[in-house]
Amino acid sequence: MTKSIGLRPREGHPNPTVVHVEGGLLNAMGLPNPGVEHFLGELRRLKDWGIPVVASFFGETLEEFVEVASRLSEAGVDALELNCSCPNVEGVGVLGGDPGAVKRVTEAVKGCVDRPLFVKLSPNVSDIAEVGRAAERGGADGLTAVNTLRAMAIDVEARRPILSNVIGGLSGPALKPVALRCVWELYEEVEIPIIGCGGISTWRDAVEYLLAGASALQIGTAIMIRGLRVFREINMGLRRYMEEWGFKEVSEIVGLAHETRIQQGR
Ligand code: DHB
């Protein structure tokens, strides 16, 4: 999974761009990236290692979304993730709150790529299921839930906001209950698969997301806090959990918490 790629190189916001807060990380990078042309060189090296690459991408206009996605698709990324929900860049964050625009961009991109297309949704909306349905109607193959939650921190000595952009996106454990609720709501409203992300750092977090309805997971902030071993630890814990409870496939527990609710007649 890459940091989001845009059409042109982009420096992003000046520092400070990342700050540790209780229960997570706050960041406002401003979508820094080397641009799609440079990224295609990096992609060739990644492909040499045989690693599946999912490219996150964004645009400032519909045409840019389409152009970046087409180039990534032609160059052979394994899947695409449409970032319509960066909280720190004007225009991109706004898009994620507008179901009609999400559907239009999804449709336009889907029409010119031959790779699976996931749409990453923002938690900064009052009805995430509505945006999820719009992406589904636009032809998304899956939904990633969720991007970061708008948040801020203030330095009490300087008496100023810490991030140069003032407002940033909150990730990590503090985001998890919100993101889990988003996955839950989406699972009840859409048919396409959901990729859960937001504060997953232990196998218990992973199981919660699967039970809420995610059928794949992403891990980001936990890598910065716990290191790369987090993947092995989560996989081992998940395996133990499944053996203990007699599950053979991860798919058996996807959305299972919803069924319990029905059985209890609530
Ligand atoms: C940035 C982008 C995101 O999609 C996000 O969730 C947080 C920060 C950024 O580059 O600023």
Q: Residue ranges per domain, the chain?
A: 18-263
| Distance of CA 110 from the midpoint of ligand 1 (Å) | 23
What is the topology classification, in CATH, of domain 18-263? TIM Barrel (3.20.20)
Average pLDDT over residues 139-149: 97
Does 4 score more than 90 pLDDT? yes
How far apart are the C-alpha atoms of 21 and 152, rounded to whole Å?
A: 9
DSSP 165-202: TS-EEEESGGGHHHHHHHHHHHHTT-SS-EEE-SS--S
**Out of 31-40, 90-99, 178-187, least confident range:** 90-99
**Out of 34-48, 92-106, 184-198, least confident range:** 92-106
- Whether the CB-CB separation of 54 and 218 falls below 8 Å is answered with no
Q: For 5-17, what is each residue's pLDDT tens digit?
A: 999 999 999 999 9
| pLDDT, position 94 | 73
> pLDDT-derived band of residue 266, with 50, 70 and 90 as boundaries?
very low
Tell me which residues are annotated as active site: 86
How far apart are the C-alpha atoms of 180 and 234, rounded to whole Å?
A: 17
| Distance of CA 220 from the midpoint of ligand 1 (Å) | 12
For the chain, what percent of residues have pLDDT higher than 70?
A: 94
Pocket of ligand 1 from Cβ distances under 6 Å? 27-31, 83, 86-88, 147-148, 169
Mutation pick for ligand 1 pocket among 19, 56, 88 (CB with most ligand atoms within 8 Å): 88
Average pLDDT over residues 118-127: 96
> pLDDT-derived band of residue 51, with 50, 70 and 90 as boundaries?
confident
How far apart are the C-alpha atoms of 39 and 77, rounded to whole Å?
A: 11
Phi/psi-derived region of residue 223, left when phi > 0, alpha when psi is between -120 and 50, beta in every other case: alpha
Ligand 1: which atom is nearest the Cα of residue 58?
A: 4
- Compute the radius of gyration of the chain from its Cα atoms: 18
Average pLDDT over residues 17-43: 96
| pLDDT, position 259 | 87
Q: Which residue in the block uniquely carries the two structure tokens 């081992």?
A: 236
Q: For 68-89, what is each residue's pLDDT tens digit?
A: 999 999 999 999 999 987 666 6
Q: For 157-203, what is each residue's pLDDT tens digit?
A: 999 999 999 999 999 999 999 999 999 999 999 999 999 999 999 99
Does this model's pTM top 0.75? My answer is yes
How far apart are the C-alpha atoms of 237 and 243, rounded to whole Å?
A: 10
Q: What is the mean pLDDT of the chain?
A: 94
| pLDDT, position 22 | 95
